[in-house]
C-alpha cells in the first residue's frame, strides 16, 4: 500500500512562507557573522587590503559567473513547470479513452484498468512529493501499460496509437523529472562560484574602507546579494525538491493532485 499522498490543494499556505522565512534567516545569520568579523578586523587593525580597480573587476566577474549559473538552472526550472500539467493531461486523456470503450464494446471490462490508472497516478504524486525510488514507479507504469494494451486490442488502430503515445509521454516525463533531480548544472562552475564568493567576502572584510559605518553597509549589501543569489541558484537547480526541508522554490503539483482526485472518482464509478 502507498502512503497517502499529500494534497497540495490542502497544504497550509504557512508552510511555504515558513520555508522562505527560514531561507532569509539563514542568509541573515551569515551576514551577521560577516559583519561581526568585519567589526573585529577593524578593532584589531587587521585591514591589510586597499580597494583598487582590480577589486571591482573581481566583483564583476563573480556577478557574471552567477548570472551564467542562474540562466542555466532557469532553463530546467521553466521546463519543470510544464511537466506536471503535461503528465496530468496524459493521465486524464487515457482515462477518458478507457471510459469511452464500453460505448464501442459494451462487454469490455475497464474497471481493472481504471483502478490501475488511479493507483499509478497516486504513486506518481507521492513520488514527485517525496522523491521515492524511480524504478518502483516505472514498474507500476509497466503494469498499467500492459493493461491498457490488452484493452487496446478492442480499439481502432488510431485510438490504439493515441493511447500508446500518451503512455510514452508519461514515461518520458517521469524520466525527465528523474534526470532533473539527479543532475547538477555544471558542478565545476558551482565550485568556482562558491570559491569566488568566499574570496570576495574575505577580501571585503579585510579591506580598508572609510568611513567604517559606510563600509559595514556596503559590505552587508554586496554579501547579501551574492550569498542570497548563490543559495537561490542551488535551490532552483531542483524544481522538484518538495521533500527537502531546505528547498523553497518548487513547481506546483496541483495539476497532478487534481488529476488524482478525478481518476479516483472514475475508478470508483468503474
Q: Print the SS3 string covering 234-246.
A: HHHCCCCCCCCCC
pLDDT of residue 270: 67
Q: Give the predicted TM-score (pTM) of the model.
A: 0.83
How far is the C-alpha of 103 from the C-alpha of 106, rounded, in Å?
6
pLDDT score of 8 more than 90: no
pLDDT of residue 5: 46
Better-scored residue on pLDDT, 113 or 153: 113
1 found inside a domain? no
Percentage with pLDDT > 90 across the chain? 56
pLDDT tens digit string along 93-107?
999 988 888 877 777
16 found inside a domain? yes
pLDDT of residue 242: 80
Mean pLDDT confidence for 173-191: 91
pLDDT score of 1 more than 70: no
- Asked which of 36-50, 95-109, 245-259 is least confident by mean pLDDT, the reply is 95-109
How far is CA 65 from each of CA 23, 221, 222, 224, 266, rounded to the nearest angstrom?
Answer: 22, 18, 15, 16, 51
* C-alpha 235, offset from chain centre: 8
Better-scored residue on pLDDT, 9 or 42: 42
Please say whether the beta carbons of 111 and 95 come within 8 A: no
What b/e readout covers 56-89, taking b as 16+ CB neighbours within 10 angstroms?
A: eeeeeebbebbeebbebbeebbeebeebbeebbe
- Asked which of 32-41, 105-114, 255-264 is least confident by mean pLDDT, the reply is 105-114
pLDDT tens digit string along 201-245?
999 999 998 899 889 999 999 999 999 999 999 999 999 988 777
DSSP state of 6: P
Neighbours of 184 (CB within 10 A): 11
130 found inside a domain? yes
2 found inside a domain? no
Please say whether the beta carbons of 6 and 129 come within 8 A: yes
224 found inside a domain? yes
26 found inside a domain? yes
pLDDT of residue 131: 81
How far is the C-alpha of 251 from the C-alpha of 270, rounded, in Å?
32
Domain count, the chain: 1
Domain carrying residue 127 = 8-269
Those residues whose C-beta lies under 8 Å from the C-beta of residue 162, and which sit 6 or more positions away, are 93, 97
pLDDT score of 256 more than 90: yes
pLDDT score of 9 more than 50: no
173 found inside a domain? yes
DSSP state of 45: T
pLDDT score of 18 more than 50: yes
Percentage with pLDDT > 70 across the chain? 94
How far is the C-alpha of 127 from the C-alpha of 132, rounded, in Å?
5
Mean pLDDT confidence for 20-25: 84
3 found inside a domain? no
Average pLDDT, the chain: 87
Amino acid at each position: 500500500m502507498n502512503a497517502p499522498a499529500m494534497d497540495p490543494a490542502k497544504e497550509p499556505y504557512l508552510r511555504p512562507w515558513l520555508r522562505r522565512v527560514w531561507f532569509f534567516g539563514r542568509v541573515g545569520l551569515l551576514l551577521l557573522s560577516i559583519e561581526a568579523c568585519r567589526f573585529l578586523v577593524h578593532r584589531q587593525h587587521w585591514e591589510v587590503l586597499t580597494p583598487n580597480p582590480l577589486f571591482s573587476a573581481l566583483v564583476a566577474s563573480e556577478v557574471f559567473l552567477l548570472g551564467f549559473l542562474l540562466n542555466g538552472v532557469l532553463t530546467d526550472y521553466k521546463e519543470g513547470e510544464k511537466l506536471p500539467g503535461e503528465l496530468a493531461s496524459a493521465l486524464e486523456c487515457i482515462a477518458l479513452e478507457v471510459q469511452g470503450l464500453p460505448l464501442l464494446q459494451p462487454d469490455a471490462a475497464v474497471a481493472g484498468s481504471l483502478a490501475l490508472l488511479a493507483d499509478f497516478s497516486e504513486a506518481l504524486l507521492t513520488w514527485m512529493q517525496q522523491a521515492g525510488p524511480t524504478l518502483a514507479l516505472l514498474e507500476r507504469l509497466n503494469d498499467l501499460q500492459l493493461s491498457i494494451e490488452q484493452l487496446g486490442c478492442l480499439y481502432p488502430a488510431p485510438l490504439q496509437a493515441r493511447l500508446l503515445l500518451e503512455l510514452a509521454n508519461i514515461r518520458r516525463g517521469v524520466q525527465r523529472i528523474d534526470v532533473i533531480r539527479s543532475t547538477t548544472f555544471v558542478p565545476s562552475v558551482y565550485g568556482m562560484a562558491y570559491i569566488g564568493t568566499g574570496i570576495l567576502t574575505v577580501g571585503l572584510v579585510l579591506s580598508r574602507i572609510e568611513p567604517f559605518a559606510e563600509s559595514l553597509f556596503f559590505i552587508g549589501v554586496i554579501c547579501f546579494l551574492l550569498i542570497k543569489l548563490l543559495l537561490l541558484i542551488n535551490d532552483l537547480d531542483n524544481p522538484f525538491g518538495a521533500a527537502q526541508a531546505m528547498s523553497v522554490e518548487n513547481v506546483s503539483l496541483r495539476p497532478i493532485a487534481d488529476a488524482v482526485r478525478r481518476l479516483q472518482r472514475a475508478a470508483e464509478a468503474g
